[in-house]
Amino acid sequence: MSLIQEKPIQEVPTQRPESHPLASPEPDPTRYLRLALRLVGVTFIIGIYTLVIVWPSGWSWHMGHSLNVPHYLQMILGVYATLGVFLVIASRNPLAHLSLIWFTVWSNVVHAGIMAAQSLVNPEHRGHLVGDVPLLLVVAAVLAVLTPQGKAASALAAGKK
């Protein structure tokens, strides 16, 4: 019996990595945006009310700790909860909901700016400068950074269709 083989063994053709059934698909450039939209959405749905109850001086414009929610706060909570539901829906396909995402970015900037100015004028509301004002700006910044813009958004949207 010879240890040297006369005929070479035929190589088994290998599949290219991208065609392999267990290979991961192309990385999704909106992955982190989708996650951020879900987190922001859920925070808007249930988190804001929770923070109003836990830390009223940083999250509510009424004085004291009370489960009796003032009318204006009910309105704000309703608007933000509704926005939160739509952000969760938008997280499924963010490129189809860019206007909603940018509305969220800019409305948070405006809301934070108005609240910051009111907090500076009214010393009893300074807690907002370390509560909801910074959080609104962080939400706006995160969504703005993660949202594709211009040609990148157009290219991604064209590739998704």
**pLDDT tens, residue by residue, 43-52:** 999 988 888 8
Task: Give the mean pLDDT of 84-110.
Answer: 96
Contacts of 20 (CB under 8 A, 6+ apart): none
pLDDT, residue 33, reads 96
Structural domain contains residue 70: yes
pLDDT, residue 129, reads 85
Structural domain contains residue 126: yes
Cα distance between residue 73 and residue 68, in whole Å: 10
Structural domain contains residue 8: no
Q: How many domains does the chain have?
A: 1
Structural domain contains residue 5: no
Structural domain contains residue 52: yes
Kindly tell me if the per-residue pLDDT of 159 is higher than 80: no
Task: Give the mean pLDDT of 13-25.
Answer: 54
* H-run or E-run covering 150: helix 150-160
Structural domain contains residue 156: no
pTM for this structure?
0.72
Structural domain contains residue 7: no
* H-run or E-run covering 73: helix 71-90
19 — pLDDT class (breaks 50, 70, 90): low
pLDDT, residue 130, reads 83
The residue segments making up the domain with residue 113 are: 30-147
DSSP at 1: -
Percent of the chain with pLDDT over 90: 43
Structural domain contains residue 86: yes
pLDDT, residue 103, reads 97
Cα distance between residue 61 and residue 16, in whole Å: 60
Among left, alpha and beta (phi > 0; psi -120 to 50; other), residue 143 is: alpha
Average pLDDT across the chain, whole number: 81
